[in-house]
Structure 1
Amino acid sequence: MVSDLVLTDIRAGYRVLTLNRPDRLNSFSADLHAALMAALIAAEQDKSCRALILTGAGRGFCAGQDLSDGVFTPGETPDLSAPIEKFYNPLVRKLRGIPMPVVCAVNGVAAGAGANLALACDIVIAARSAKFIQAFAKLGLVPDTGGTWLLPRLVGGARARALAMLAEPISAERAETWGMIWKVVEDSDLMAEGHALAASLATQPTDGLALIKQALDASETNTLDAQLDLERELQGRAGRSADYAEGVTAFLERRAPRFVGRAKD
């Protein structure tokens, strides 16, 4: 069943979404795409959900596109722009735009689209044994799933070009050193760290965090003047929220804030 391809574990204030094709290193099929998008939409519609963890079942996080899933037939010329438009681009847009923080817990190899899926999340932690591979060049392809946008901004132009053209794996430790990810943890501690992060984020002013996501993404292409204008607009929205009032009140009363999180429709 499609629903079995992404496991949803509902916790207090957050959800864990687990890619569940371990026999294929959680590589993408059309059904997996559909299941992941459905899980993200369900989380977004649940106002009690204030954070997400994305991880993979088994020994890998995601090996990218499953090449046996009808994208290539010997003797035929495929149109690879079609699955990009139908699946990968909407997925990246959903992850970047979903109004809550997304923690990615990379439990093993993250290759091709799988690597860039991880990098499209807000906070990325990785097991020490994990590896990131921009595998596209080995097939004569271009990094997709946002890779050509994400990599230069995370690691700089020189490293991005080498990663894309050489298609060599890099360790989780190097990814952390280069600023590609937030943190490396021991394999046995990965999910405990992910749960701790998500549980903490689920107590924070979720709508404010969503505005931070919006502002940071816009900053990549905005001029300074445009970004200053956007900050003014977003700060105005944040200042009208119940969470801002609660944060200031709690500060003045010298107590921990009790944030509402996501505004009700």
Structure 2
Amino acid sequence: MTELRSTPTDSDSVQLVDGVLRIAVASDKAGNSLDRAYFDRGAVALRQLARGEIKAGAVLLVGTGANFCAGGNVRDFASADDRAEFLAGLAGDFHDFIRALTAANVPIVAAVHGWAAGAGMSIVTHCDVAIAGTSTKLRPAYLGIGLSPDGGLTWSLPRVIGAARARDIILTNRAVDAAEGLDLGLFSRVVEDDQVLVTAEAAAASIAAGPWRTLAATRKLLTASATRSLTEQLDAEAESIAALSALPDGIEGVNAFVGKTKPDYASVNAQS
């Protein structure tokens, strides 16, 4: 595989390096619009990850060019012989990617530089850790071309920032800058623009260096908490911590703590 910092090309838009599965969602073509070939390959890799055919502890989503993802390629929409049929197919494939992303059950990190508009904004709302730059902006964008959202935006955005603010942003189609995105909880951190990728890479590498079974279990708890009562969540937490204590991740972590040594999660992950 090529180095993680390299710019993905059409042939290596999916890369696996040191336990991090890196997926490019937008190419540097057509204004950094969502690239169907890229997210199709990404969905395949994510499904392989879920089945255990690819071993990784984190996923890193990136765009190429000036933006993370500026939305769908509207010129492709306009040139389609049957726009409804074209959009149904495109949205269906994109939604397969979103489903695969959420089902991968490893932490998802995004390096969000420039614009994340339309589909790009939808992707950001499904990530666990989103690193933005000071000039990063989000915008739903769909209403601007007379279309309704896709990518799960009408489901995820209200859950992240609340129904009233989600309705305001989507229905007025207004831009959200980095500072507001951080305040709303859409971004995890805001750094200087030239530090977005390196910071996101470091976050993904740090996560992937941890115990993979424990990370998967923790992400599962966090995801499920939105639809559970406190009692249900307490029961799930008790079951999870007990199960992990008997697995290599928990055994290594506890024994290392007692022995005052650094846990060797790399060896544990290699056996998972």
Which TM-score band applies after superposition, normalised by the shorter structure?
A: 0.7 to 0.9
* Residue among 65, 68, 79 paired with 1:61: 68
Alignment-derived partner of residue 99 in structure 2: 93
Q: What is the aligned partner in structure 1 of residue 188 from structure 2? A: 182
1:107 aligned to which of 106, 113, 117: 113
1:235 aligns with 2:244: no
Q: Superposition pairs for residues 1-265 of structure 1, below 5 Å?
A: 4=10, 7-41=13-47, 45-47=53-55, 49-70=56-77, 73=80, 77-78=84-85, 80-84=87-91, 86-259=92-265, 260-261=268-269, 264=272
User: Structure 2 vs 1, CA of residues 91 and 76 (structure 1 numbering), >3 Å: closer, same or farther?
Assistant: closer
SS of the aligned residue for 2:116 comes to strand
Query: What is the Cα deviation at residue 74 of structure 1?
Result: 7.2
CA distance in 1 between counterparts of 2:149 and 2:38 reads: 20
CA RMSD of aligned residues (A): 2.6
Do the aligned partners of residues 258 and 25 (structure 1) sit closer, same or farther apart at CA in structure 2, a change above 3 Å counting? farther
How far has the Cα of 1:43 moved from its partner? 5.1
CA deviation profile, 1:198-252 (whole Å, cap 9, x unmatched): 1211111111111122122212122333333333333343233201011111111
1:8/1:15 contact within 8 Å kept: yes
Provide Cα deviations, 1:108-141, integer angstroms capped at 9, x if missing partner: 1000111111221111001111110011222333
TM-score for the superposition, normalised by structure 2: 0.85
28-37 vs 148-157, greater mean Cα deviation: 28-37
The 8 Å contact of residues 126 and 183 in structure 1, kept in 2 or not, is answered as yes
SS where residue 74 of structure 2 aligns? coil
SS of corresponding position for 2:76:
coil
Contact 1:102-1:122 within 8 A present in 2 as well: yes
User: What TM-score, normalized to structure 1?
Assistant: 0.87
Cα separation, partners in 2 of 1:30 and 1:58, compared to 1, 3 Å: closer
- CA distance in 2 between counterparts of 1:19 and 1:76 reads 22
Unaligned runs of 5+ in 2: 1-8
Give, in whole Å, the separation in 2 of the partners of 1:43 and 1:75: 35
Identical residues among aligned pairs (%): 32
The answer on whether the counterparts of 2:49 and 2:104 sit within 8 Å (CA) in structure 1 is: no
Give the deviation of 1:80 after TM superposition: 4.4
Structure 1 residues 94 and 236 mapped into 2: Cα distance closer, same or farther (>3 Å)?
A: farther
SS at 2:68 equivalent: strand
User: Unpaired segments of 5 or more residues in structure 1?
Assistant: none
Paired with 1:185 and 1:173, the residues of 2 have a C-alpha distance of 10
Note the C-alpha offset of 1:196.
Answer: 1.4
State the SS of the aligned residue for 1:261.
helix
Q: In structure 1, what is the Cα distance between the partners aligned to 2:221 and 2:140?
A: 27
Question: Is the 1:6–1:36 Cα contact (8 Å) retained in structure 2?
Answer: no
